C-alpha cells in the first residue's frame, strides 16, 4: 500500500489531467464553431428578381420640330403688331403691318405709267391704220403710173415705222406690267401673314421699329408647331459608340422629374461640338407633345437604353469577380461558409449585374467586406475574406 503522500500526489495529477482535457475540448469546440460560422465582416445580399437597364446619360435641349422665323421682305416702319408671344395662329392670319405709304405711291405711279403707255399704243395703232391706207393707195397709183416711185417708197417706210413703234410700245407695256406686279407684291409684303399653323414663341421686333432689309434680313417673330418637339442631346465621345439608330430613349425635365417621355433615337449628327476641349456629338430624336407640357429651350436629362433585362436575377456588381466565362461569385453555403461558384453574367451597369446561369433566387452572395472595396483580381476574394486556403 502506497504511503499517504504518494496517494495525494496521484490525485492531484489526475485532477490536473482532467482540467487540461476539459480546457482542450472547450478550445476545440470554440475553434470548430468559429471556423464554421461566417465572418461578421462579410456583407451578404440575397439574389432577387428585378429589372435592369444599362444606360447612357446625356443632357439635351428641347426645340420645336417644325418652326418658321417670320421676317420682313420690305423696308419701312413697323406700324402694327397684331399678335403677342404665346398666341396661337392659323396659316394666313395677319401678324403685322409695315407702313405702306411708299409702296402705295409706287403702285399708283406704275399704274399711271401703264395707262399712259396703253394710250400711246392706241395712238400708234391709229397711225398704223393710216400708214396702211396710204401704202395701199400709193401702190394702186403706182400701178396706174399716177404717182412717183419715191412717194410709194415713203408710204412703205411709214408703214414699217408704224409697225415698229407698236412693237416698241407693246414691249414697254409688258415691262411696266412686270414692274407693277413687283410693286403690288411689295405692297402686299407690307402686310405680314402667318406661313403655318402654330404658336408665336418669340417676337424680335417692336411696334414703331424701322426695318431695313438692305442691311440685314430682319426677323420679326418665330412661329412653332409645339405638338411635336425635338430633343438634341449632347453625348460624349466616350459613349457615342454605344448609340445606334432606333434604340429606346427616354428623358425627364427639371420641372417634371417623375414623368418620363419615351421615344427612339432618330439620328446622330456626325459633326461634333467642342466645348472646353470636350468633344460632344448631338443625338437627335422627336417626341409627341399633345398636351403642350414641353416647351422651347427646356433642359432634358436623357437616358439612352443600351441594354435591358426584365425579371432577371440580380446581384450587386461588386459581388461579381472576373469577366466573361471566368466570372465567379461567392455564395454562402449550407454550412455558412462562402464558396466560389462560376456564373454567366448578362446585362450590367454600375450598380447591378444580371446572372443568367449559376445562381437561384433567394441565395445569398457576398457583396464585399463591410467597409472595404471590391476587387476583380483572381485572388482578391481570398484576401478580402481572410480565408484559410
What's the CATH number where 353 sits? 2.40.420.20
Residues 320 and 295 in one domain: no
Residue 386 has a pLDDT of 31
* 137 within domain boundaries: yes
Residue 369 has a pLDDT of 59
CA distance 6 to 17: 17
Q: Is it the case that residue 108 has pLDDT exceeding 70?
A: yes
Residues 337 and 290 in one domain: no
Residues 320 and 374 in one domain: yes
H/E element, 12: helix 4-36
Q: Which of 257, 279, 308 represents a domain boundary (last residue)?
A: 308
Residues 111 and 157 in one domain: yes
CA distance 270 to 259: 30
Residue 21 has a pLDDT of 54
Q: Is it the case that residue 19 has pLDDT exceeding 80?
A: no
pLDDT band at 9 (very low <50, low <70, confident <90, very high): low
- Across the range 66-84, mean pLDDT stands at 94
Length of the chain: 389
Residue 213 has a pLDDT of 87
Residues 235 and 301 in one domain: yes
Cβ neighbours of residue 317 under 8 Å, at least 6 residues apart?
A: 348, 349, 350, 351, 352, 353
* 210 within domain boundaries: no
* 291 within domain boundaries: yes
Give me 333's grid cell. Answer: 453555403
- Across the range 44-61, mean pLDDT stands at 93
pLDDT band at 16 (very low <50, low <70, confident <90, very high): low
pLDDT band at 375 (very low <50, low <70, confident <90, very high): very low
Q: Is it the case that residue 384 has pLDDT exceeding 60?
A: no
CA distance 128 to 130: 5
Q: Which domain holds residue 277?
A: 58-64+223-308
Residues 290 and 332 in one domain: no
Residue 36 has a pLDDT of 43
CA distance 29 to 328: 32
* 241 within domain boundaries: yes
User: What are the distances in angstroms from CA 357 to CA 52, 54, 230?
Assistant: 16, 19, 41
pLDDT band at 17 (very low <50, low <70, confident <90, very high): low
Residues 299 and 339 in one domain: no
Q: Is it the case that residue 87 has pLDDT exceeding 50?
A: yes
- Across the range 174-178, mean pLDDT stands at 96
Residue 142 has a pLDDT of 86
3-state secondary structure 30-78: HHHHHHHCCCCCEEEEECEEEEEEEEEEEEEEEEEEEEEEEECCCCEEE
Residue 160 has a pLDDT of 94
Q: Which of 308, 333, 368 represents a domain boundary (last residue)?
A: 308
Cell 443568367 belongs to 356
Q: Considering the chain, what is the average pLDDT of its residues? A: 85
Which residue did the predictor score with more confidence, 64 or 146? 64
Total domain count for the chain?
A: 3
Which residue did the predictor score with more confidence, 146 or 263? 263
Residue 256 has a pLDDT of 83
- Across the range 172-195, mean pLDDT stands at 95
- Across the range 150-166, mean pLDDT stands at 92
pLDDT band at 15 (very low <50, low <70, confident <90, very high): low
Residue 98 has a pLDDT of 95
Residues 299 and 315 in one domain: no
Residues 184 and 116 in one domain: yes
* 36 within domain boundaries: no
Residues 108 and 182 in one domain: yes
DSSP letters, 261-296, are EEEE--EE-SS-EEETTEEEEEEEEEEE-TT----T
Residue 337 has a pLDDT of 85
Taking only the tens place, the pLDDT of each residue in 22-46 is 545 454 443 444 444 455 567 889 9
pLDDT band at 350 (very low <50, low <70, confident <90, very high): confident
Residues 155 and 110 in one domain: yes
CA distance 292 to 301: 18
Q: Is it the case that residue 114 has pLDDT exceeding 60?
A: yes
Coil, helix or strand at residue 15: helix
Cβ neighbours of residue 208 under 8 Å, at least 6 residues apart?
A: 77, 78, 79
Taking only the tens place, the pLDDT of each residue in 290-326 is 988 999 899 999 999 999 999 999 999 999 998 888 8
Which residue did the predictor score with more confidence, 4 or 43? 43
Considering only 223-232, 347-356, 361-370, which range has the smallest mean pLDDT?
Answer: 361-370
Q: Which of 147, 171, 189 represents a domain boundary (last residue)?
A: 189
CA 30, 32, 36, 41 torsion: positive or negative? positive
Residue 40 has a pLDDT of 55
Q: Is it the case that residue 351 has pLDDT exceeding 60?
A: yes
User: What are the distances in angstroms from CA 29 to CA 2, 69, 333, 377, 389?
Assistant: 39, 87, 21, 35, 21
* 13 within domain boundaries: no
Considering only 113-122, 241-250, 326-335, which range has the smallest mean pLDDT?
Answer: 326-335
- Across the range 105-130, mean pLDDT stands at 95
Residue 235 has a pLDDT of 95
Taking only the tens place, the pLDDT of each residue in 190-212 is 999 999 999 999 999 999 999 98
Taking only the tens place, the pLDDT of each residue in 253-292 is 988 888 999 999 999 999 999 988 999 999 999 999 998 8
* 268 within domain boundaries: yes
Residues 108 and 184 in one domain: yes
* 85 within domain boundaries: no
Which CATH number belongs to the domain containing residue 243 in this structure? Answer: 2.40.30.170
Do residues 191 and 72 lie in contact, with contact meaning Cβ atoms separated by under 8 Å? Answer: no
Amino acid at each position: 500500500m502506497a504511503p499517504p503522500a504518494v496517494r495525494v500526489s496521484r490525485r492531484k495529477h489526475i485532477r490536473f489531467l482532467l482540467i487540461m482535457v476539459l480546457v482542450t475540448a472547450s478550445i476545440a469546440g470554440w475553434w470548430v464553431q468559429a471556423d464554421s460560422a461566417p465572418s461578421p465582416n462579410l456583407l451578404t445580399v440575397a439574389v432577387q428578381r428585378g429589372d435592369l437597364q444599362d444606360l447612357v446619360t446625356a443632357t439635351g435641349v428641347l426645340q420645336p420640330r417644325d418652326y418658321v422665323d417670320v421676317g420682313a421682305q420690305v423696308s419701312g416702319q413697323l406700324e402694327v403688331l397684331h399678335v403677342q408671344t404665346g398666341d396661337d395662329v392659323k396659316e394666313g392670319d395677319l401678324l403685322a403691318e409695315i407702313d405702306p405709304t411708299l409702296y402705295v405711291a409706287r403702285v399708283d405711279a406704275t399704274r399711271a405709267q401703264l395707262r399712259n403707255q396703253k394710250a400711246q399704243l392706241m395712238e400708234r395703232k391709229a397711225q398704223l391704220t393710216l400708214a396702211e391706207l396710204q401704202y395701199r393707195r400709193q401702190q394702186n397709183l403706182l400701178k396706174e403710173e399716177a404717182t412717183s416711185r419715191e412717194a410709194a417708197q415713203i408710204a412703205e417706210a411709214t408703214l414699217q415705222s408704224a409697225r415698229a413703234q407698236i412693237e416698241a410700245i407693246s414691249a414697254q407695256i409688258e415691262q411696266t406690267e412686270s414692274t407693277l406686279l413687283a410693286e403690288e407684291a411689295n405692297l402686299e409684303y407690307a402686310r405680314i401673314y402667318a406661313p403655318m399653323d402654330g404658336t408665336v414663341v418669340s417676337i424680335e421686333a417692336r411696334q414703331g421699329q424701322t426695318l431695313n432689309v438692305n442691311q440685314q434680313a430682319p426677323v420679326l417673330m418665330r412661329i412653332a408647331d409645339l405638338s411635336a418637339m425635338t430633343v438634341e442631346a449632347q453625348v460624349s465621345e466616350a459613349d457615342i459608340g454605344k448609340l445606334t439608330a432606333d434604340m429606346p430613349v427616354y428623358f425627364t425635365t427639371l420641372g417634371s422629374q417623375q414623368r418620363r417621355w419615351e421615344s427612339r433615337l432618330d439620328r446622330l449628327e456626325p459633326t461634333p461640338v467642342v466645348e472646353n476641349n470636350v468633344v460632344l456629338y448631338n443625338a437627335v430624336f422627336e417626341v409627341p407633345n399633345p398636351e403642350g407640357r414641353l416647351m422651347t429651350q427646356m433642359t432634358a436629362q436623357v437616358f439612352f437604353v443600351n441594354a435591358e433585362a426584365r425579371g432577371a436575377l440580380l446581384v450587386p456588381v461588386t459581388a461579381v469577380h472576373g469577366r466573361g466565362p471566368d466570372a465567379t461569385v461567392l455564395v454562402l453555403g449550407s454550412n455558412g461558409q462562402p464558396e466560389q461558384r462560376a456564373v454567366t453574367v448578362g446585362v450590367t451597369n454600375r450598380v447591378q449585374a444580371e446572372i443568367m446561369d449559376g445562381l437561384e433566387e433567394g441565395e445569398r452572395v457576398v457583396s464585399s467586406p463591410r467597409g472595404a472595396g471590391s476587387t476583380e483580381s483572381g485572388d482578391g476574394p481570398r484576401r478580402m475574406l481572410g480565408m484559410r486556403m
